[in-house]
Amino acid sequence: MSRRIIPVADLSAVPVITGPVQAPSGALHDTLARPLRDLRISVTDRCNFRCVYCMPRAVFDKDYAFLPHSALLSFEEIERLARLFVAHGVEKIRLTGGEPLLRKNLEFLIERLAQLATPEGRPLDLTLTTNGSLLERKARSLKDAGLTRVTVSLDALDDTLFRRMNDADFAVADVLDGIAAAQAVGLAPVKVNMVVKRGTNDGEIVPMARHFKGSGAVLRFIEYMDVGTSNGWNMTEVLPSADAVTRIAEHFPLMPLEAHSAAETAQRWGYVDGSGEIGVISSVTRAFCGSCTRARLSTEGKLYLCLFASSGHDLRALLRSGASDAAIATAVAEIWQGRSDRYSQLRGSNAAALRAQDARRVEMSYIGG
């Protein structure tokens, strides 16, 4: 039986520098005038969950060949690349996976990254996204290492439904304990991400809002997205974020809030009684490509310019070829300056349909959400 496995290494090319050396100026822009401000770094392709929308067990089963340790970027290599990206203007680094807390001694990497600062001397916003299963035991060491904040994925409060969605028999209580531990050590405000799949867990929208209202955590609802090719995405399973807001507002009056920044992906809504806020991320029904400032680095050093990319740029090859910092920084500059990705804006158009026929998009488990 054939299996739908995406060989990420086959989708990437070694960068070829075509112009003069470009010293980082902190003001790098792509073809649509979008600056480089955010870097998401996947530190492992492994996960202890098998969520149906990310790593379905039918593909990522016991025989799936994950990357060998030698293929992964070392902490020293990640730090070196991160330093160059920060020199180019990155202000926020998010560690992702897979499940990043499965990477051994991750705290050592966080300590290294926490020492970096912007050209103006400001500390980085250093965050991490996790499924929360290991967070209770790791929260204190992550905070002590220099992590700023944490985002936790939780798709249901109903334990039976949650276990079915994560397909690994992890309990809701494990994640809630992790959230509480993160709040207790000051990894706050904790953001809680719920991927909403119509007909599967949309009945949990109001219970989730009720549970986290007044908790200090910021609950965010994410439209089920067509990331990769292994999750069997279907538009009929997308619940528009506007519907989620309407459902919550029927129980708890809401008011719109201003975005923290122009590049923020979530639309913010506050409870009228002042007991907190929710967010909605609407990459299917309300594309935000025009303000996207994010680059993504896969666990084996491939640079992707879009969550829906079908090809990347092999920075690991440059690192391990002995390339200088100046050469790597120039390669990054040329890659970003040539960026024109805006898949969500093109979704459904003839251009996107034609491209999709010939392209295999990278899986979310390689480059994070």
In three state form, how does the secondary structure of 61-110 look?
A: CCCCCCCCHHHCCCHHHHHHHHHHHHHCCCCEEEEECCCHHHCCCHHHHH
Q: Is residue 336 part of a domain?
A: yes
Q: Which residues constitute the domain of residue 280?
A: 8-367
Identify the CA nearest to 110 among candidates 145, 62, 138.
145
The CATH number linked to 20 is: 3.20.20.70
14 domain-assigned? yes
pLDDT of residue 340: 86
Is residue 104 within 8 Å of 119, Cβ to Cβ? no
For the beta carbon of residue 324, count every other beta carbon within 10 angstroms.
Answer: 10
Q: Report pLDDT for 358.
A: 44
Residues 6+ apart with CB under 8 A from 46: 66, 97, 98, 99, 102
In which residue are the tokens 């599967």 written?
200
pTM: 0.89
The answer to whether residue 132 sits within a structural domain is yes
Contact present, 342 and 290 (Cβ < 8 Å): yes
Identify whether 3 is part of a domain.
no
The C-alpha atoms of residue 254 and residue 273 are separated, in whole angstroms, by 9
Instruction: With beta carbons less than 8 A apart as the criterion, state whether 106 and 147 touch.
Output: no
Instruction: Tell me the pLDDT of the chain (369 aa) as tens digits.
Output: 333 434 444 457 888 888 888 889 888 999 999 999 999 999 999 999 998 877 889 888 889 999 999 999 999 999 999 999 999 999 999 999 999 999 999 999 999 999 999 999 999 999 999 999 999 999 999 999 999 999 999 999 999 999 999 999 999 999 999 999 999 999 999 999 999 999 999 999 999 999 999 999 999 999 887 655 555 557 778 899 999 999 999 999 999 999 887 767 789 999 999 999 999 988 777 766 778 899 999 999 999 998 777 778 999 999 999 999 999 999 999 999 999 877 665 665 555 544 444 456 566 555 665
- Give the per-residue pLDDT at 309: 76
Adjacent-strand bridge partners of 118 = none
> Has residue 2 been placed in a domain?
no
Residue 1 counted as domain residue: no
Phi, psi at 11, each rounded to 5°: -100, 5
The token pair that represents 322 in the structure block: 């002995």
Q: What is the pLDDT of residue 341?
A: 78
Tally of domains within the chain: 1
Based on the number of CB atoms within 10 Å of its own CB, is 247 exposed (0-12), middle (13-18) or buried (19 or more)? middle
| DSSP label at residue 123 | B
Predicted pLDDT of residue 5: 39
User: For the chain, how far is it from start to end, CA to CA, in angstroms?
Assistant: 29
Would residue 230 count as lying in a domain? yes
Q: Which pLDDT score, from 0 to 100, does residue 31 have?
A: 94
